[in-house]
């Protein structure tokens, strides 16, 4: 019989915490069984396979990311909103390295649930950059650039790549502000040079 109180949701939650501790690649059914206090075969009463476990961790991670980004963006627009979600995203990734690795795995094309959750999370970024007045194509470019900045910077930071005395958080804000200024400059250029000029790094919307 399965351990009392153990179900699929609690297994996924325990696996998510374990992934942050040992790394997503180090997550195994054996380690998870030890964590939840059962023998490995007992886990298969709740989860079909390691692949299903990894999918579950990734799916929940994407849901969590979407939730924290949505909260960060509430009541904000333009540069202020971009800075808010960028800072929130960075903090979440640094706090949940294993879960973040799980979240960036591309969902299976036929996994409709995962695809829908991923679209919802990305849509938050589209809603944020919409305040700049970019064209649809440039909005897509801006969202991709924002995701690239977050993934690339925080990935390097997590790996201990930044050894200079300058605080990574300060450099991160500089990079995000540079991206914001690029979006503002794009809109200005599209208007033929009229409209709002780019903000100096660090200024509000």
Say yes or no to pLDDT of 9 above 60: yes
- The percent of residues above 70 in pLDDT, for the chain, comes to 92
Q: Is residue 178 part of a domain?
A: yes
Q: What is the CATH number of the domain that holds 167?
A: 1.10.357.10
DSSP string, the chain: -PPTT--HHHHHHHHHHHHHHH-GGG--HHHHHHHHTS-HHHHTTT-S-HHHHHHHHHHHHHHHHHHHHHHHHTT--HHHHHHHHHHHHHHHHHH-HHHHHHHTSPPPTT-HHHHHHHHHHHHHHHHHHGGGT--HHHHHHHHHHHHHHHHHHHHHHHTT---SSS-HHHHHHHHHHHHHHHHHHHHHHHTTT-SPPPPPTT---
Q: Is residue 48 part of a domain?
A: no
pLDDT at 202: 44
Question: pTM of the predicted model, to two decimals?
Answer: 0.85
* Containing structural domain, residue 127: 61-190
Using 50, 70 and 90 to split pLDDT, how confident is the model at 204?
very low
Q: Is residue 119 part of a domain?
A: yes
Domain total of the chain: 1
């Amino acid at each position: 019989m399965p351990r009392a109180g153990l179900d699929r949701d609690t297994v996924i939650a325990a696996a998510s915490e374990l992934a942050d501790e040992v790394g997503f690649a180090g997550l195994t059914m054996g380690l998870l069984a030890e964590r939840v206090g059962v023998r490995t075969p007992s886990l298969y009463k709740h989860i079909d396979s390691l692949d299903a476990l990894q999918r579950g961790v990734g799916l929940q991670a994407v849901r969590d990311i979407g939730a924290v980004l949505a909260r960060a963006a509430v009541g904000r627009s333009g540069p202020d909103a971009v800075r808010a979600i960028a800072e929130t995203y960075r903090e979440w990734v640094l706090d949940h390295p294993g879960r973040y690795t799980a979240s960036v795995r591309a969902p299976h094309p036929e996994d409709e649930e995962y695809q829908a959750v991923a679209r919802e999370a990305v849509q938050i970024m589209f809603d944020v950059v919409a305040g700049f007045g970019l064209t649809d194509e440039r909005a897509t470019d801006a969202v991709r650039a924002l995701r690239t900045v977050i993934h690339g910077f925080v990935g390097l930071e997590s790996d201990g790549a930044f050894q200079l005395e300058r605080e990574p958080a300060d450099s991160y804000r500089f990079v995000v502000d540079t991206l914001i200024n690029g979006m503002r400059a794009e809109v200005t250029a599209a208007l033929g040079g009229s409209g709002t000029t780019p903000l100096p790094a660090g200024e509000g919307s």
